[in-house]
Amino acid sequence: MDCSLVRTLVRRYCAGEENWVDSRTIYVGHKEPPPGAEAYIPQRYPDNRIVSSKYTFWNFIPKNLFEQFRRIANFYFLIIFLVQLIIDTPTSPVTSGLPLFFVITVTAIKQGYEDWLRHKADNAMNQCPVHFIQHGKLVRKQSRKLRVGDIVMVKEDETFPCDLIFLSSNRADGTCHVTTASLDGESSHKTHYAVQDTKGFHTEEDVDGLHATIECEQPQPDLYKFVGRINVYNDLNDPVVRPLGSENLLLRGATLKNTEKIFGVAIYTGMETKMALNYQSKSQKRSAVEKSMNVFLVVYLCILISKALINTVLKYVWQSEPFRDEPWYNQKTESERQRNLFLRAFTDFLAFMVLFNYIIPVSMYVTVEMQKFLGSYFISWDEDMFDEETGEGPLVNTSDLNEELGQVEYIFTDKTGTLTENNMAFKECCIEGHVYVPHVICNGQVLPDSSGIDMIDSSPGVSGREREELFFRAICLCHTVQVKEDDPEDTIDGPRKSPDSKSCVYISSSPDEVALVEGVQRLGFTYLRLKDNYMEILNRENDIERFELLEVLSFDSVRRRMSVIVKSATGEIYLFCKGADSSIFPRVIEGKVDQVRCRVERNAVEGLRTLCVAYKRLIPEEYEAACNLLQAAKVALQDREKKLAEAYEHIEKDLILLGATAVEDRLQEKAADTIEALQKAGIKVWVLTGDKMETAAATCYACKLFRRSTQLLELTTKKIEEQSLHDVLFELSKTVLRCSGSLTRDTFSGLSTDMHDYGLIIDGAALSLIMKPREDGSSSSNYRELFLEICRNCSAVLCCRMAPLQKAQIVKLIKFSKEHPITLAVGDGANDVSMILEAHVGIGVIGKEGRQAARNSDYAIPKFKHLKKMLLVHGHFYYIRISELVQYFFYKNVCFIFPQFLYQFFCGFSQQTLYDTAYLTLYNISFTSLPILLYSLMEQHVSIEVLKRDPTLYRDIAKNALLRWRVFIYWTFLGVFDALVFFFGAYFMFENTTVTSNGQIMTTNINMMFGNWTFGTLVFTVMVFTVTLKLALDTHYWTWINHFVIWGSLLFYVVFSLLWGGIIWPFLSYQRMYYVFIHMLSSGPAWLGITLLVTVSLLPDVLKKVLCRQLWPTATERTQARNKCLSVEQPTVFMLSQTSSGLSF
C-alpha cells in the first residue's frame, strides 16, 4: 500500500494544510509525476462550459417570480390581490390582478428574452471546436469538454478557450503576441513568454512527452495578477522549479496574433476563468430620485392606512344608530349577526385598504424603468459626443443613474489621459546639467538628429561623454517596449540597420516609454528589438550593441520605478533604473543631484512629466546574490508581491544618478472650457493624480482649475515637517474662514471677484496622516472634519502623489460627509477604477491606458470635453423629466382615489366603488400612461444650446430641487384640490332629483338620468381630461408625437367608454355601464359642466405658474422668458416636426 497517498490525504483533509486552501496542483496532460514525487491525487474542477444565463427552462417561472416579488410595490399589490380573493371586497380582484399581471408579464418577457440571448451566446461559445493533444496527436473536440490539465493547441487569430499556461510557440524565442480587446478593450499587441524549460517543444509529440506539475493560486478575477510555479521532471533528477506570472498566462477571450500556433495547458476552465469571474456585476448604485420615490411611497402608504382606519371607525360610528346597521333591504343572516366584532372590523379595514389601494401607483415602477432604458439611448446616439479621431462614441453601462447626472456636486478627475491627451512627446533630457533637445532650432535652422545642444554651460568633456552615452543606453534598455514587426523575414535575416525613426514602430502599454525611446532615437541611439533574450540597440556610429537581459524589476505604482539588469558584450553587468524623482533621489549616492533636481523642478513647473535615470555596476557576486533573492521571491506562492517588493528594495540602492527626462502631455481639447463651465454650474472640481505637485499644479493652471487670482494653500509633507499636522490644519482653517464666513455655493464657480478664491493642494502622505486612525479616535475625527471644512471653502482642490486606494478614500470622505453630496469620478486608467466604483456616478474615459476604467464605469465618454454636455444637457433633461414623472404619478393617483374616499361619506361607508371596474383597471395602464412616458422621454424646457451656453441653469435643479418636500406637498395638495372639484362639482350637478313616471331618477337642473355609475363616470371623465391637460400645460417642447399621444389618449378614453357602454358584452355577468356614458354625453349641461370643472381644476396651477414667474422667477424661467420662441434641435431618436407650444407656462 502506498503510504505517501494516505499521508498526503491525512495532511490535507485533517491537518488543514494551508496551501491546500490557497493553491491548486495541476498535472500537465493528466500524467502522474515520477515515483518519489508527491502522490497523484485527481481533483475535481468544473468543465469548460460558460454559463452567463440566469435561468433554465425549469426554474425560469419560480425564480423570476421570486425576484420580482422581492420588490416592495409588487409584493404589496400581490397581498392586495390575495385579500380581494379571500374576503368579500368592494372591487373585483381583476382591478388589482390585471395591472399586476401586466407588470409582471412585461418584465418577465423582457428578462426571459434577454436570458434567451445569453443562452444562445453561451451555446455558440461552448460548442466551438478546440484542438487537444492526446497520445501525441491532435484531437478536435467541443470547448465544453475541455478539462483542467489538458494540453491545447491554439492557432493564429483564434481565441483562447480557457486560461492557459503558455508552454511553447512556433517562435524560437518562445514568445507570442495577443490582444485582449474583449477583456479590457486594449487593442495593442502584448507579448507573453513561454516557460523557459518548455519553449523548445514545437511538435505534438514533444509536448505530449512533458512531465510537469503546476502549483498556482485559486481562481481570482484580477486580469493582471497571477502567482504560480511549474515543476518540470527531467529523468529521475529533482524537478526544475520555474516561477509563473501574468506574463506566462494566456486568458480566455484574448486572441492570438502574429504567431502561427502555441501550446498551453489549461489551469482555469469554465466559470473559474478570469473572464467569467469578471462577469459578476458591480454593487448596485441607487440614485437620489429613486430614494425620494421610495420615501414618497412610504408617505402614501401611511395615507392609505389612515384613510382605511378613518373609514372603518366612521363606519361603526355611523352604524351605531338603530336601523343603520341592518336596513330593511339588506337583512343580515344569523351567522353574520353572531360574528366577532373585531373580526368584522378587521375585515372592513382590509376592504377599505383594497378600495383605496390605487393611491400606490404600481405602474410607476414600469414607467420609470422604461423611461430610464429608452432615455439612455439619447446619450448613445448623441453625435456631438462622438469622437471622429478615435471612432468612439459614448457608452451607457447602466441606465439606473441617468437622472443622477443632473445632481452632481463634486467631480473627482484624474489628470493623465483624462485632462491631458496621454499623447507623450519627448521634449528634452538633462544629463549631469547638460540639456539635450532633439530637433533644436539654432540660428533659424532645424538641426535634425541633434546629438545634444548645451543650454547651461560648456559642452561635456570625455567623462561626460561616457555618462551621456550610458544615459542613452539606459533609456534604450530600461523599458518594456515592443518593436512591431512589419516584415517577419527582415527580423530573421538580421536587424534593421537604419536609424530612421519611421523604420521602427514601437508598441507599449505606457505612452511615456514609447516617447522616451523615440526621443532618444532622435538623439542617436535606436532600440532595435529583443531577440533570444538579447536587447539590440544601434548607436551613433551605426554599430549594433547587444545586451543580455538578465532580469526585469517591473514597474508598480507603489515603487514608482522600474529596473533592468543587463550584461554587455564585454561581460559588465549593469542595473539601470528609471522612475519618479521622489523614488530615485533617496537611493542615489553619487551624481550631480542638485543640477538635475533644479532642472526637474523647472520642468515640473512648466507642466512636463519628468523621470530620473540612475545606474550601478554589479560585480558577479552581487548579481548572484540579487538573482537568488529574486528567484526565491518569484517562486513563492504565499505573499509573492510582498517578497518581490522587499527584494527590489534591497537591489535598487546605492545608485549613481545619470540625469532626467522631460515629456510633454498636452492638455485635451476644450478641457479648460469644460472645467470652467462645470464650475459655473456650481460643481466643485477636484483633480486626483499620482504626479508630482509642480507638474499637476501647472496642468491645473492650464485647464483653468486654478486662476492667477487663486490663493494656493498647501497641505503637504514638506509643510507638515515644518509644523505639526494640527497646526497646519488650524492655520489653513483660519485663512479660509478669515473673510465674513464660509463661501457660499454660488462662489464655488469662481465668478465672484470680491471674495478670496482659494485652491488647496494636498499630497498622498499628508492625506494618510489625516486618515490614519489614532488611539484617540476623536482626534482623528476632528482632523477629518477640519480638513473637510477647509475643502468646502476652496473653489478647487488638487490631490497629488495619490495612490489608487487614496483616490477612493478621498471620494468616500466627501461622499459620506454631513451634506451627503452627489459625487462623480472620471478617469481613464486601471488606477482610477477604485474611485469610479466608489463615487455615486462613475465615468470612464476611453483612453490610451486601456479600457479598465470604461468597463467598470457607469458611463464612458471618448474625451473629457464630452462631460460638459453629458451633465449640463443630458443630466439636466433626465432630472427634469423623471422628477415630473414621479410627482405626476402621485398627483394623478391622488386625483383618482380621493373622490372615492369622499364618496364613502355619502354611501354610509358601505365600501361602494365610485368607478366601474374597467375604469379602475385601465386608468394607470391605458388612459394616462403614454402621455407621461413620452413627456419623460422628450421634454426640453429650454433648448440644448441655451443649456450649453448658460451653465448656471444647472443650479436650479441642484440638491434634488424638484423632489423636495415643499414641491411634493404642493403636488399632493393640488391633487386633493382637483379631487374636491371633481367630486363636489359633479355632486352639485346631481343635487336636485325627481322620480319620473317610469321610475327613473332624473336630475331637475340638467335633465340627466341620475345613478351611481353616471355620477362616477362624470367624475372619472373630468379627472381624465384634467390630469392629461395638466401634463399638456407643463409641456414646453411640442412635436407631432406629443400631440398624437396626448389628444389620442383622450380620444381613446372617449371611444372606449362609448364601446364599453354601448354594447351588451356577453362575457360580463353585469351590464351596469350599458348606455351610461352615451346618455351622459347626450345632455348639453353635462358638456358645460365637464368644461367648467376641468377649467376650475386647472386654474390654481395656472395662476401659481403665472404669479411665480412674475414675482419669484428662477434662472430657468427668466431664460424661458428671453427665449419665447425656442429653437430646439431635433432629437436623434425620432425625426420629429417641431411646433411652438401654445400651452406652455
Q: How many CB atoms lie within 10 A of CB 158?
A: 16
| Cα 836 from Cα 833, distance rounded (Å) | 5
- Residue 577 clears pLDDT 90, i.e. is over it: yes
Question: How large a percentage of the chain has pLDDT more than 70?
Answer: 82
Cell matching residue 804: 489608487
- Residue 1110 clears pLDDT 90, i.e. is over it: no
Pairing of strands 395-396, 796-800: unpaired
| Cα 384 from Cα 394, distance rounded (Å) | 10
Helices (H) and strands (E) in the chain, counts: 40, 40
Strand partners for 615: 576, 656
SS3 (DSSP) at 1039: strand
Whole-number pLDDT of residue 495 = 37
DSSP H stretches of helix in 279-392: 288-318, 334-337, 341-356, 363-375, 377-380
**What is the separation, in whole angstroms, between the first and last Cα of the chain?**
93
| 752: region left, alpha or beta (phi > 0 left; psi from -120 to 50 alpha) | beta
Whole-number pLDDT of residue 932 = 92
| pLDDT band at 1099; cut points 50, 70, 90 | very high
Question: Residue 562 contacts by C-beta under 8 Å, 6 or more apart in sequence?
Answer: 478, 479, 480, 552, 553, 554, 555, 577, 578, 579
Residues 864, 844 contacting (CB under 8 angstroms): no
Residues 505, 484 contacting (CB under 8 angstroms): yes
- Residue 1137 clears pLDDT 60, i.e. is over it: no
Cell matching residue 748: 464655488
| pLDDT band at 1108; cut points 50, 70, 90 | confident
Which of 417, 412, 374 has the alpha carbon at shortest distance from 842? 412
In what helix (H) or strand (E) does residue 657 lie, and over which residues does it extend? strand 655-667
| pLDDT band at 1050; cut points 50, 70, 90 | very high
| pLDDT band at 504; cut points 50, 70, 90 | confident
| pLDDT band at 497; cut points 50, 70, 90 | very low
Q: Which of 751-755, 858-862, 1033-1037 has the lowest mean pLDDT?
A: 751-755
Residue 105 burial class via C-beta count within 10 angstroms: exposed 0-12, middle 13-18, buried 19 and up: exposed
Measured in residues, the chain has a length of 1145
pLDDT digits (tens, 9 = 90+) for 43-92: 788 888 888 778 888 889 898 888 888 777 778 788 888 887 887 777 77
Which of residues 240 and 1069 earns the better pLDDT score? 240
Which of 29, 25, 23 has the alpha carbon at shortest distance from 198? 29
Residues 1094, 1029 contacting (CB under 8 angstroms): yes
Whole-number pLDDT of residue 825 = 92
pLDDT digits (tens, 9 = 90+) for 1056-1066: 888 887 776 66
Residues 523, 450 contacting (CB under 8 angstroms): yes
Which of residues 487 and 1132 earns the better pLDDT score? 487
| Cα 734 from Cα 727, distance rounded (Å) | 11
Instruction: Note the Cα 39 to chain centre separation in Å.
Output: 48
Whole-number pLDDT of residue 462 = 54
- Residue 174 clears pLDDT 60, i.e. is over it: yes
Distances (CA, A) of 638 to 226, 236, 277, 646: 12, 28, 22, 14
Residue 322 burial class via C-beta count within 10 angstroms: exposed 0-12, middle 13-18, buried 19 and up: exposed
| Cα 936 from Cα 642, distance rounded (Å) | 54
Whole-number pLDDT of residue 751 = 38
pLDDT digits (tens, 9 = 90+) for 780-826: 567 888 888 888 888 889 988 777 778 888 898 898 888 889 999 99
Whole-number pLDDT of residue 1003 = 57
Mutual angle of helices 965-989 and 1084-1111, in 10-degree steps: 160
- Among all residues, which ones are annotated catalytic? 414
Question: Residue 878 contacts by C-beta under 8 Å, 6 or more apart in sequence?
Answer: 375, 402, 403, 405, 406
Cell matching residue 230: 511549474
Pairing of strands 151-155, 129-134: antiparallel
Which of residues 1044 and 785 earns the better pLDDT score? 1044
Q: Which DSSP symbol is given to 331? A: P
Whole-number pLDDT of residue 752 = 39
Beta strands in 470-511, from DSSP E residues, in sequence order:
482-483, 506-507
Vertex 834: Cα angle to 830 and 835 (nearest 5):
110
Q: Which of 114-123, 245-254, 491-500, 1010-1019 has the lowest mean pLDDT?
A: 491-500
Whole-number pLDDT of residue 849 = 55
Q: What is the mean pLDDT of residues 1071-1093?
A: 78
pLDDT digits (tens, 9 = 90+) for 704-734: 888 877 888 888 877 777 777 788 888 888 8
Residues 1087, 930 contacting (CB under 8 angstroms): no
Which of 910, 675, 643 has the alpha carbon at shortest distance from 795? 675
| Cα 860 from Cα 143, distance rounded (Å) | 33
Q: What is the mean pLDDT of residues 748-777?
A: 67
CA dihedral angle for residue 127, residue 131, residue 132, residue 138, rounded to 10 degrees? 140
| pLDDT band at 439; cut points 50, 70, 90 | low
CA dihedral angle for residue 671, residue 672, residue 674, residue 680, rounded to 10 degrees? 160
Which of 703, 704, 724 has the alpha carbon at shortest distance from 715? 724
Whole-number pLDDT of residue 177 = 84
Which of 557, 518, 501 has the alpha carbon at shortest distance from 689? 557
- Residue 7 clears pLDDT 50, i.e. is over it: no
Residue for grid cell 508552454? 167
Distances (CA, A) of 193 to 172, 275, 476: 11, 20, 21
Whole-number pLDDT of residue 173 = 76
Mean pLDDT comparison of 196-205, 305-314, 318-327, 483-492, highest-scoring range: 305-314
Q: Three-class SS string for 1052-1084?
A: HHHHHHHHHHHCCCCCCCCCCCCCHHHHHHCCH
Whole-number pLDDT of residue 853 = 75
| pLDDT band at 496; cut points 50, 70, 90 | very low
- In one-letter notation, the amino acid at residue 318 is W
Which of 351, 347, 356, 349 has the alpha carbon at shortest distance from 304? 356
SS3 (DSSP) at 739: coil
Whole-number pLDDT of residue 1116 = 76
How high does pLDDT run on average in the chain? Answer: 79
| Cα 163 from Cα 254, distance rounded (Å) | 9
Residues 179, 258 contacting (CB under 8 angstroms): no
Which of residues 96 and 203 earns the better pLDDT score? 203
Q: Which DSSP symbol is given to 59? A: T
| Cα 496 from Cα 539, distance rounded (Å) | 13
Cell matching residue 397: 453601462
- DSSP states of 774-806 as a string? -SSHHHHHHHHHHHHHHHHT-SEEEEES--HHH
Whole-number pLDDT of residue 509 = 64
- In one-letter notation, the amino acid at residue 340 is N
| Cα 551 from Cα 773, distance rounded (Å) | 39
Q: How many CB atoms lie within 10 A of CB 146?
A: 21
Q: What is the mean pLDDT of residues 232-261?
A: 84
Phi, psi for 740 (deg, rounded to 5): -70, 35
| Cα 308 from Cα 353, distance rounded (Å) | 5
pLDDT digits (tens, 9 = 90+) for 883-935: 999 999 999 999 998 998 998 888 878 888 888 888 888 888 888 889 999 99
- DSSP states of 956-975 as a string? GGGGGGGGSHHHHHHHHHHH
Residues 520, 475 contacting (CB under 8 angstroms): yes
Pairing of strands 758-763, 711-715: parallel
Distances (CA, A) of 371 to 48, 376, 400, 967: 39, 8, 10, 22
Whole-number pLDDT of residue 830 = 67
